Structure 1
């Protein structure tokens, strides 16, 4: 099964966009991420699964498979102590949103969300862990 994490190439694209591209502010992107995080906090993985793109939903096939991936691979998203939104860059129909999450143990994590516009609104198409200065990733 492929990983929920976007490719290293995607990270390189974002780095170039942050240096050379114009930032876009799409408030609905943050709303979508917030709604998924709130669903995770409530252990409502069926609801959280609805915020993934149709492509990721097909990949994981069920909220239960999605739950296992999140708990094992992204525990900081499942149980965040603090969430801060940083840079947001639009590249065509894709928005990259950098998010700083502090976990329950006080460690800082930087994540890059790849957001896609769908018929149902903005959905999460992948998440990449980035290196966090002074933290863990």
Structure 2
């Protein structure tokens, strides 16, 4: 019985960092999307990694890229978090977004852990033809 309890405690302890990471990443993505929906591109820009901020330089440049290139993120109808994975030390979060017209989009968020928490370090639009909704 003691072995079972110790095993359960060890398993729980090992899963806590992963659960915290998962929650932190989802929170970062959700908060950025909420900022997009409020047209608060200054706040949304703050969730981008330092390298993305350097590339776009201003929240207005970032706004233009998002509204023109990723309208489903700017004005989503529904968001569902799919799998999360780590490749070569980089964490990726897959997100299924349904747009206002019912179109389905799968995006792969590349995440970066910083001193200020998780930041979005890039987003790739994936082929969503195999996704059933």
Question: TM class by shorter-chain length?
Answer: 0.7 to 0.9
Unaligned runs of 5+ residues in structure 2 are: 1-17
TM-score, normalised relative to structure 2: 0.80
Alignment correspondent of 1:49? 45
TM-score, normalised relative to structure 1: 0.78
* Higher relative contact order (Cα pairs below 8 Å, separated by 6+ residues): 1
C-alpha contact 1:96 1:112 (8 A) present in aligned 2: yes
Secondary structure at the counterpart of residue 120 of structure 2: strand
Separation of aligned partners in 2, 1:82 and 1:65? 25
Alignment correspondent of 1:77? 73
Alignment correspondent of 2:91? 95
RMSD: 1.4
Secondary structure at the counterpart of residue 128 of structure 2: coil
Alignment correspondent of 2:115? 119
Separation of aligned partners in 1, 2:119 and 2:90? 10
- The structure that is helix-richer by fraction is 2
1:104 lines up with 2:118 in the alignment? no
Moved over 4 A (4+): none
Alignment correspondent of 1:38? 34
Separation of aligned partners in 2, 1:28 and 1:75? 24
